[in-house]
């Protein structure tokens, strides 16, 4: 799923809105795919980074993962764990969807925050 496709979801799916603009309502498999693409990773990259099989990654994308795997996914892709779990920005993030750049296991403070502008 590309960011253009994600932007199209704003027009074709349920969308919540707030002062910051539209936030597309994505299900967990969609958020997993978006986060993986945002991090520039493919299934083999995720499998290597998470130290699991490619089959496990495919199962995760179907929504078959536990909380620990979900939080590791967030850490590896550099996205907010609350957003990945719930679809809502975490309490310490600014308005709209906030992603944290970076890969691997460096602390969040080593990245920078970028708002994903999907406002209508």
Residue 16 has pLDDT above 80, yes or no: no
pTM > 0.85: no
Q: What is the rounded CA–CA span in Å between residue 53 and residue 108? A: 26
- 118 to each of 16, 19, 103, how far by Cα in Å? 12, 12, 23
Question: Per residue in 69-93, pLDDT tens?
Answer: 999 999 999 999 998 998 887 665 4
Cβ distance 21 to 96 under 8 Å?
yes
Residue 77: how many other CB atoms lie within 10 Å: 25
Q: What is the rounded CA–CA span in Å between residue 113 and residue 57? A: 26
Residue 108 has pLDDT above 50, yes or no: no
Picking from 33, 28, 40, the residue whose alpha carbon sits closest to that of residue 84 is 28
Q: Which domains does the chain have, with CATH numbers?
A: 3-115 (1.10.260.40)
Question: Per residue in 4-15, pLDDT tens?
Answer: 555 555 544 555
Question: Per residue in 38-54, pLDDT tens?
Answer: 999 999 999 999 999 99
């Amino acid at each position: 799923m590309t960011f253009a496709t994600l932007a199209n979801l704003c027009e074709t799916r349920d969308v919540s809105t707030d002062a910051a603009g539209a936030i597309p309502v994505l299900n967990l498999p969609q958020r997993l795919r978006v986060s993986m693409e945002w991090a520039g990773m493919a299934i083999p990259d995720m499998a290597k980074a998470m130290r699991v099989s490619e089959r496990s990654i495919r199962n995760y994308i179907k929504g078959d993962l536990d909380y620990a795997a979900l939080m590791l996914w967030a850490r590896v892709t550099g996205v907010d764990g609350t957003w990945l779990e719930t679809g809502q920005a975490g309490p310490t993030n600014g308005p709209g969807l906030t992603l944290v750049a970076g890969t691997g296991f460096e602390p969040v403070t080593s990245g920078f925050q970028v708002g994903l502008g999907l406002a209508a």
